[in-house]
């Protein structure tokens, strides 16, 4: 599976619509300091569902929206789309090309879309689970990440191998099922209490 392009507008320094084509092979992005290179990897993290402004080098999430310059007004919305080639069928959807979009408005409202259809953040997360591409995956190696992997606890390092082995989605589903079981058993206990009060 391959990233085909990143489209964005109103995201950080990219006020106007911009499309970055990612062709076969390696794509290098070069430019002077402060020209927006890291903002592109931030856009990638953000569209994949990043929830921490710190991971996007900010303090508040609305800082991803173009803040304006002396000559330009701020934008009211940031939008990023990531288009991936799914001809290998790695993503569990019946499309050869999958576009994931995230929008955020100054009002705080957020939207996620998969191929133009509104969806939940959970759907985006599940789509990329076990592919290594998700926001917690290993496809985005930021500064300091290697150091973090080497010095982290073995249990945390294991998560990286679990993602690569493709078992994260099963673990997540197991955790969901366990949560539901606990809640069902709590409800059952409450029902038993009520029955014993009635009897």
| List of residues contacting ligand ATP (CB under 6 A) | 12-13, 31, 33-39, 63, 65-67
Q: Which is nearer to ligand ATP, 26 or 195 (CB)?
A: 26
Measure the CA–CA gap between 48 and 22, rounded to whole angstroms.
17
32 labeled binding residue = yes
Q: Which is nearer to ligand ATP, 20 or 99 (CB)?
A: 20
CA angle (79 as vertex; 39, 7 as ends), nearest 5: 70
Measure the CA–CA gap between 150 and 129, rounded to whole angstroms.
23
Quote the DSSP letter at residue 172.
H
37 labeled binding residue = yes
23 labeled binding residue = no
Cβ at position 11, least distance to ligand ATP in Å:
8
71 labeled binding residue = no
86 labeled binding residue = no
Q: Which is nearer to ligand ATP, 63 or 193 (CB)?
A: 63
CB 8 within 8 A of CB 102: no
Largest CA distance in the chain: 78
Q: Which is nearer to ligand ATP, 38 or 172 (CB)?
A: 38
Quote the DSSP letter at residue 68.
-
Cβ at position 174, least distance to ligand ATP in Å:
39
Cβ at position 156, least distance to ligand ATP in Å:
27
Cβ at position 33, least distance to ligand ATP in Å:
3
CB 22 within 8 A of CB 14: no
Give SS3 for 127.
helix
Going from the C-alpha of 75 to that of each of 14, 70, 113, the distances in angstroms are 10, 13, 20
Binding residues for ATP: 32-39
Q: From the annotation, which residues make up the binding site?
A: 32-39
């Amino acid at each position: 599976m391959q990233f085909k392009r990143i489209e964005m507008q109103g995201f950080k320094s990219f006020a106007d619509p911009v499309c970055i084509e990612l062709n076969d092979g390696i794509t290098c992005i070069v430019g002077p300091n402060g020209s927006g290179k890291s903002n592109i990897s931030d856009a990638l993290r953000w569209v994949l569902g990043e929830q921490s402004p710190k991971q996007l080098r900010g303090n508040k999430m609305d800082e991803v929206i173009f803040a304006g310059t002396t000559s330009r007004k701020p934008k009211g919305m940031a939008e990023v789309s990531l288009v991936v080639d799914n001809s290998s069928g790695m993503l569990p959807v019946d499309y050869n090309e999958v576009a994931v979009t995230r929008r955020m408005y100054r009002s705080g409202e957020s939207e996620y879309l998969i191929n133009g259809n509104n969806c939940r953040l959970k759907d985006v997360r599940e789509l990329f689970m076990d592919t290594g591409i998700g926001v917690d995956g290993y496809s985005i190696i930021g500064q300091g990440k290697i150091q973090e992997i080497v010095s982290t606890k073995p249990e945390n390092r294991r998560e990286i191998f679990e993602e690569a082995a493709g078992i994260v989605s099963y673990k997540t589903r197991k955790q969901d099922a366990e949560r539901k079981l606990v809640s069902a058993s709590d409800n059952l206990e409450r029902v038993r209490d009520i029955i014993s009060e009635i009897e």
